[in-house]
Structure 1
Amino acid sequence: MASHIEQTRLRAQVAALERELAASERRRQAIVDQYERVLDDRDRSIAETRASERRSDEGRRAIVRRLVATLR
């Protein structure tokens, strides 16, 4: 009888530990997912900034070309 109670207690303890491990893994994965979203947002922002800078540079060059052309 005592060994049956001990086995039941150990099974319950193992089940509780397995649940906690699963919860911990879900929390860890949520952090990884959030970090990946932050990196994706950062990369997208950098790409948009660079594209905007290129358009701005091209616009300035076009203005300079028109100005030079009118001065000739």
Structure 2
Amino acid sequence: MERLALLMRIAALERELEASQQRRQSIIDQYEQLLADQDGSTRSDSSASAESSLERLLTRVR
């Protein structure tokens, strides 16, 4: 019985980890897209804007 419960818990943790990794990758992809969309700006302006956008994305995920 204990072994089955442990196996079920491991499977649940693996699913949670996979979902977390997918969310993290989605944030990275969105951040990279924001950077790609910000051509024509100066580097410092672009970085500040991208960081602000990343903060908004992270707030939505939490």
TM > 0.5 fold call: yes
RMSD: 1.1
Q: In structure 2, which of residues 14, 17, 32 is the aligned counterpart of residue 36 of structure 1?
A: 32
Q: TM-score, normalised by structure 1?
A: 0.55
**Stretches of structure 1 lacking an aligned partner (at least 5 in a row):** 48-72
Question: What count of residue pairs does the alignment treat as equivalent?
Answer: 41
**Bigger Cα Rg:** 1
**Matches of 2:13 and 2:37 in 1, distance apart?**
36
Specify which structure has the bigger relative contact order, considering alpha-carbon pairs within 8 angstroms and separated by 6 or more residues. 2
**Stretches of structure 2 lacking an aligned partner (at least 5 in a row):** 42-62
Give the structure with the larger helix fraction.
1
